[in-house]
Structure 1
C-alpha cells in the first residue's frame, strides 16, 4: 500500500466557491476516485488557501492512469483547474507531491521487529 500526500494552493478569492464545490463532490466523481483504487482520501485546507491532500492506494501509477483516462475526472478537473495558484495541467496530475518522512505504524512495527530480534538471541 502506498500513502500519497500532495499540496496545492487555492486562490484566496475563490475559497468559498471551492468549498461549495466539495459539499458534496459529484457522485460520479466519487465513484471514479474509488474505481481508480484510491481510498482513505482526504483534503485539508489551511491558511491562505493551502490545500493538503492525502490518499492511499495499492498502485498509484495505475490510479493516476485510470483517472487520466476518465471522462468524468477530465470534466471535474477542467472545472476545478481555475481554483489553483500556479498550476499547469489537470489538478489531479499536476499537484506537488510531498515526501513522507514519518509514519507511526511503520516505526512501531520496525521497533517491535527489532525488539523481537534482540530476544531471539
Structure 2
C-alpha cells in the first residue's frame, strides 16, 4: 500500500465555506473515491489555508486515472477550483503532487 501526502492552498477568504462544503461530500463522490482506490483519504486544513491531504492506495496512477474517468469528479473539481490558489488553470486534483516520504513508523 502506498501512502500519499500532498499540499494545496485554500484561499484565506474561503476557508469557512470550504470547510462547510466538506461536511457533506456528495455520496456519489464518496463512492467514486472508494471504488477507485482512495483509501483512508483525509484532508487537514490549517487556519492560514494550507491544506494537507493524505490517502493510502495500492496504485496512485490508477487511483488518479480512475477519478479522471468519473463524471462526478469533473463536477466536484469544477466546483472546488474556486477555493484554491495557485492552480495555474488546473483542476485541484491535477495540482496534487505527492510529497516524498522520508520516514514511517510502522
Could you say which residue in structure 1 is the equivalent of 2:4?
4
- Larger Rg belongs to: 1
Q: Give SS of 1:98's match.
A: coil
User: Runs of 5+ in structure 1 lacking a partner?
Assistant: 106-121
1:32 partnered with 2:42: no
1:97 Cα deviation after fit = 2.0
RMSD: 0.9
1:96 partnered with 2:69: no
Could you say which residue in structure 2 is the equivalent of 1:74?
74
Q: Give SS of 2:66's match.
A: helix
User: How many residues are aligned here?
Assistant: 105
Distance 1:68 1:104 in 2: 32
Distance 1:80 1:45 in 2: 15
Runs of 4+ in 1 over 4 A off after TM superposition: none
Distance 2:14 2:65 in 1: 29
Could you say which residue in structure 2 is the equivalent of 1:21?
21
Could you say which residue in structure 1 is the equivalent of 2:87?
87
User: Runs of 5+ in structure 2 lacking a partner?
Assistant: none
| Greater RCO, 1 or 2 (C-alpha within 8 Å, sep 6+) | 2
Length-normalised TM-score, structure 2: 0.95
Structure whose residues are more often helix by fraction: 1
1:53 Cα deviation after fit = 0.2
